[in-house]
Amino acid sequence: MIRLMGIDPGLRYMGWGVIDVDGNRLIHVADGVIATDSTDSVPARLKMLHDGLMALLELHRPAEAAVEETYVNRNGAATLKLGYARGVALLTPALAGVPITEYAAKTVKLAVVGTGGAEKDQVMMMVRRLLPGATLRRADAADALAVAICHAHHRSSRMAWAKVAAGY
């Protein structure tokens, strides 16, 4: 069994989700968001995200983490701030010695829903179906669990291919 953490970066709400993977079985462990106050300075908010994520890494001790890649939108300032949060989402597990894999949003949706163009409510519905007991208080938490599920599927495929390549 291996424990995986999925992270959905955001400066206002950073979603996180932890699952255990036992063969083909996915087991919900925990999920939630790290929320920051938009009236605080950006550096203070980034520190809050780092400290919250570090506490979660220490509590849940994932073997690997997966982070959703940032998409660029028309609002350059919003994209830049999202990039800051994504930097924290990548750096914090790295500082804790946790290997990180990144996935595009379309790849995550395809792995969880079956189509890269799925809507947020479709992702949330499938996450609830795949992980009974998930609290999913916000869509950010559902997205983070979807990233963890995507990583579980891709990790399993990579391991199977490695066995084939090694002649097993």
Active site (catalytic) residues? 8, 68, 140
Q: How would you class 114 by CB atoms within 10 Å of its CB: exposed for 0-12, middle for 13-18, buried for 19 or more?
A: exposed
DSSP secondary structure letter of residue 74: S
Contact 9, 86 (CB under 8 A): yes
Dist CA 153 CA 131 (whole Å) = 14
Provide the token pair at 115: 């189509």
Q: What stretch of H or E contains 165? A: helix 139-165
Kindly state the greatest CA–CA separation across the chain. Answer: 57
Dist CA 109 CA 95 (whole Å) = 28
